Amino acid sequence: MSGQSPSRRQVLQAFSLAAVAAATPGFSRWCYALGKAEQQPASGGGPGGAYIPKFFTPHEYRTVETLTELILPSEQGPGAKEAGVAEFIDFMVQNDSSLHEPFRSGLAWLDGAAGRQRTFTGLPRAEQTRILDRLAYKKYQRADERAGQDFFKLARQYTVMGFYTTKIGLEALDFPGLKFYATSPGCNHACDAEHTGI
């Protein structure tokens, strides 16, 4: 599932949505990139400051964690797990009633796709990936799995939002706002110094 890069529109949308979450206490790993530099310990968390989901059941939350880690794995650097993307999704879903049913039914769909008396989180990683490949890539998609495809698209959108609104995500984009310049870099538009062509 790697290589899921965000569009410019998704990143801008993520900034506006994440600003709301930044002012809310209770996150143990997720923090808004342009907010405080250090992440705050969980407020009202469980043992050891573990995050307690506000919307999802414990089982649903484990599924969200697994799903986001498969979408943005920690293979070539920090991924969804390190950025605390599952916490971001829990916050966003809790505060947007239009997302309640799509996420709840989508997570149930994943468990159903795992087979009888099994859950998505209980599957080996290779089987989890095969299920998601069927949802993500047109060449593997099945006509009878439209509900799963729609849910995966939604989950991927919120995973991207959560990741790319953290310092970790912005560093992955090489976001210039995180850099310190001892001197201001020169303009690279030598042939159009007045920027008439922009």
Query: Does residue 2 form part of some domain?
Result: no
User: Residue 6: is its pLDDT beyond 50?
Assistant: yes
Residue 29's CB is within 10 A of a number of other CB atoms, namely 20
Query: Does residue 130 form part of some domain?
Result: yes
User: Residue 29: is its pLDDT beyond 50?
Assistant: yes
Ranges 28-42, 71-85, 112-126, 163-177: which has the least confidence: 28-42
Which whole-number Å values give the CA distances from 154 to 33, 44, 68, 71, 178, in the listed order?
A: 22, 29, 11, 12, 28
Instruction: Please report the pLDDT score of residue 44 as a whole number.
Output: 42
Q: What's the domain range around 21?
A: 8-192
User: Residue 38: is its pLDDT beyond 50?
Assistant: no
- Of the candidates 173, 139, 148, the one whose C-alpha atom is nearest the C-alpha of residue 6 is 173
Q: Tell me how many domains the chain contains.
A: 1
Query: Does residue 113 form part of some domain?
Result: yes
Query: Does residue 3 form part of some domain?
Result: no
Q: Decide: 102 and 151 in contact? Cβ < 8 Å.
A: yes
Query: Does residue 83 form part of some domain?
Result: yes
Query: Does residue 65 form part of some domain?
Result: yes
Instruction: Please report the pLDDT score of residue 69 as a whole number.
Output: 95
User: Residue 47: is its pLDDT beyond 60?
Assistant: no
Enter the pTM of the model: 0.73
- Of the candidates 42, 32, 146, the one whose C-alpha atom is nearest the C-alpha of residue 92 is 32
